[in-house]
């Protein structure tokens, strides 16, 4: 059974940085796609970043130039480096896996509205708070 465990959330001031981690276990087949989503109170869940098996990352417009997603296949871990954080970045951040990925869901599809529907496995989330 595939499991995702996030860590690294916390509370920072505006302009600060955090690095989130997502450890994947229970899935020997490396053909999956990992993404980060976030959800703030009263708002829909939105795709933040996704990475394909070749390490190519796609980002939501709201985080381009500030967030970087990467993965370390030797550790079965994906990361989300978040710099220049803004109060509007505050949310619960979730790692998710698409076990039957396509170029669309491993790319723009993940960060478009409804992208979360393509991802079958979810972590428990890690809270990010940004104070102004």
Q: Quick check: 98 and 47 in contact, CB under 8 A?
A: no
| pLDDT tens sequence across 9-61 | 999 999 999 999 999 998 877 678 999 999 999 999 999 999 988 899 999 99
What DSSP designation does 109 have?
A: H
Q: What is the pLDDT of residue 54?
A: 86
128 with 18: CB under 8 angstroms?
yes
Distance CA(92)–CA(43), nearest Å, equals 11
Contact call for residues 91 and 40 (beta carbons, < 8 A): yes
Which CA distances in Å does 41 have to 26, 52, 74, 131? 31, 29, 35, 15
User: Is the Cβ–Cβ distance between 35 and 50 less than 8 Å?
Assistant: yes
pLDDT by residue (tens digit) across 79-108? Answer: 999 999 999 999 999 999 999 899 999 999
């Amino acid at each position: 059974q595939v499991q995702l465990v996030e860590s690294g959330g916390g509370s920072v001031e505006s302009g600060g940085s955090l690095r989130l981690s997502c450890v994947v276990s229970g899935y020997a087949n490396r053909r999956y796609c990992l993404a980060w989503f976030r959800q703030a109170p009263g708002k829909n869940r939105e795709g933040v970043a996704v990475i394909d098996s070749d390490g190519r990352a796609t980002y939501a417009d709201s985080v381009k130039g500030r967030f970087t997603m990467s993965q370390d296949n030797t550790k079965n871990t994906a990361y989300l480096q978040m710099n220049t954080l803004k109060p509007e970045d505050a949310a619960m951040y979730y790692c998710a896996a698409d076990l039957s990925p396509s170029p669309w869901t491993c790319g723009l599809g993940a960060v478009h509205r409804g992208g979360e529907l393509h991802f079958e496995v979810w972590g428990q989330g890690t809270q990010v708070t940004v104070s102004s």
